[in-house]
Structure 1
């Protein structure tokens, strides 16, 4: 086989490993080898290559398990366009950004991937907030996550809040009881709020995007530097994000 043939085979093998991790994550070397028929030594080399290229990383809960990075998720998001979510949301996102002059984040939710940022429209203010595309967002600590949790079945909420909840700041609701109590408020108002609970210096409001069956498929959030965020503004932004999420949901349900 020529050198170019060897190189092509190596690329194909590496892509097979990447695809297998995407399908089975979190997954270890032995499971990847069984699923692909690729020797463990070759699987390990591919994993190291993909880690160095920032496509894969070790699971935060088990260093022997492998998962996709935000970079890989972002590429997948742009390739699949999340079933039309971005197209359905973009006009409303633009209108909401123009109304609020703050950064608008669109997030996709699935049981397997959790909550992932799939699009962003930046504020036109000189000081603004920012989250990179493909970022995984904590369910308990973010307004988007709690907006989604408020629409999930109790069994799913228990599963997502069952482990140890990471504390990002003194404002993070880092135990199940605190989160579930907040969900009662979210269900009444239609939106969740965030006062530096996830990212320092950032306030935000978020509402869930619902499919035809009333299940959450994502969330819409408005985030602002804490200098432009207080309880009174959170109420105003909350009303706007609820209406924006309603419009996007209606568009999703009509397609």
Structure 2
């Protein structure tokens, strides 16, 4: 019979496997074992346990890789508006992905003034962009972040961006003045653009999702490999993202 200490260790090991899948999904046994330093045999047992509990399942496109289920996502998001946001957004995200053939990211804007990727609809192109679910998104450097900031007042933006702004590339807005200048353009056209300002080799357009008061609760972004992204492509994709964001905002449940 296992001891209480052994049982606790098994629970902790299983939770580490779950957290690693959440960070790296879709991910295989070998990569999980490497990331956690847990033996592959133990990783496999944990995965089977989590599948039986309906927290994990294998990928629909690769049966050797593991992903979170809707149950796991819903538990993680239950304490916030993110679950309602995801449910409202999924049909429109799918339509936008099918229309653009690019990856669609859904980003939630929390009460801690943080942006987090809460869902992703992958492109059907062989070369595509990727960012893990749960990734933190910088407000000043991403199109999602600047779409959200554009829905706030300048004094609010100044408070949120107080201090030195991290520079990710040569195109990252380097200071508050540069961000505020860009936000004026975002407010005018209804969407933000990003030319490798956050992630190298990635262009994007994004639009804010708002509640009935007009306050931002997240953003929708179309993410494009730089090989398929230029100013003309951004001009075509931007209005599509803005229209999709408006439809999702209308479909959001009341707070």
TM-score by length of 2: 0.71
CA distance in 2, matches of 1:229, 1:189: 19
Q: Which residue in the other structure is 1:26 paired with?
A: none
Residue by residue, what CA displacement relative to the aligned partner does 1:90-148 show, whole Å, maximum 9, x if unpaired?
00000000000000000000131500000001111110001000000000000000000
CA distance in 2, matches of 1:206, 1:215: 16
Deviation at 1:7, TM superposition (A): 5.5
Instruction: Map 1:100-115 to 2 at 5 A.
Output: 100-112=100-112, 114-115=114-115
Partners of 1:77 and 1:134 within 8 A in 2:
no
Secondary structure of residue in 1 paired with 2:137: coil
Q: Which residue in the other structure is 2:191 paired with?
A: 191
Residue by residue, what CA displacement relative to the aligned partner does 1:12-49 show, whole Å, maximum 9, x if unpaired?
99xxxxxxxxxxxxxxxxxxxxxxxxxxxxxxxxxxxx
Q: Which residue in the other structure is 2:218 paired with?
A: 218
CA distance in 1, matches of 2:184, 2:11: 49
Report the aligned-residue RMSD. Answer: 2.9
Q: Which residue in the other structure is 1:172 paired with?
A: 172
CA distance in 2, matches of 1:237, 1:108: 21
Instruction: Map 1:80-99 to 2 at 5 A.
Output: 80=77, 82-99=82-99
Aligned length: 201
Secondary structure of residue in 1 paired with 2:133: coil
CA distance in 2, matches of 1:131, 1:167: 19
Secondary structure of residue in 2 paired with 1:199: coil
Partners of 1:212 and 1:253 within 8 A in 2:
no
Out of 111-120 and 138-147, give the one that drifted further: 111-120
Q: Which residue in the other structure is 1:139 paired with?
A: 139
CA distance in 2, matches of 1:150, 1:236: 20
Q: Which residue in the other structure is 2:3 paired with?
A: 4
Deviation at 1:153, TM superposition (A): 3.2
TM-score by length of 1: 0.71
Partners of 2:109 and 2:116 within 8 A in 1:
yes
- Extract unaligned runs of 5+ from structure 1: 14-51, 55-74
